[in-house]
Amino acid sequence: MKKTTFPAFLSTAIVCYIFWLLLTGQIVAIFIGNAAPEVLIAGGLVSVLVALFSARFFIHRSAFYLFNPVKLLALLFYCIFIFGWELLKANWDVARRALRPGKLRINPGIVKVPTELKSEYGLSMLANSITLTPGTITMDIADQDEKTWLYIHWLHVDCTEPEQAGDSIKGTLEKWIRRIWK
């Protein structure tokens, strides 16, 4: 088991506190000058406690990696625009298939898709992004033959060749995730 370092603890506590502020709506209250001090203090305490117990599981190296403004902006751009667009396209495709029951065109199957990502965080982000888009579920990430593969259950398998299936499923997700998690 990894030992918790102070930078890992501090960055985990900061991220937890930011999430606390977002979830409780205090981030807006801070900007308009109407923040509740008891909520801010409780959030700080909870964030410190969570960081004490979880920092060693989340932060492996470079504790402040995402605090780099370029990486943070790339992450925000990915979450809002890139993933949002891919999510919209996948929702439209699945809705179109579901609303035409007489012409239900599905061909479910499992495809093996290669990925160039090496970072655990990048692989996790890609796998979860694929799973969150309707019509696909990432089932496994495997290292075989000195290459990383994703096993994906796909609602409509239109090609079984790994590279083509990967291009169809991943779209631009992998390219942008690579920019975030080099």
The predicted pLDDT at position 72 comes to 85
Please choose, from the candidates 96, 16, 3, the residue with its C-alpha nearest in 3D space to the C-alpha of residue 51: 16
Mean pLDDT of 49-65: 82
pTM across the whole model: 0.78
The predicted pLDDT at position 2 comes to 67
**Domain boundary assignment for the chain:** 6-63, 69-180
Other C-beta atoms within 10 Å of 101: how many? 7
Beta-carbon contacts of 168 under 8 Å, excluding residues fewer than 6 positions away, are 158, 159
Beta-carbon contacts of 60 under 8 Å, excluding residues fewer than 6 positions away, are 2, 120
Beta-carbon contacts of 144 under 8 Å, excluding residues fewer than 6 positions away, are none
Mean pLDDT of 140-157: 92
Please choose, from the candidates 83, 82, 75, the residue with its C-alpha nearest in 3D space to the C-alpha of residue 132: 83
pLDDT digits (tens, 9 = 90+) for 61-119: 777 777 888 988 998 899 999 999 999 999 998 888 888 877 777 889 999 999 999 98
Question: Do 53 and 9 contact (CB within 8 A), yes or no?
Answer: no
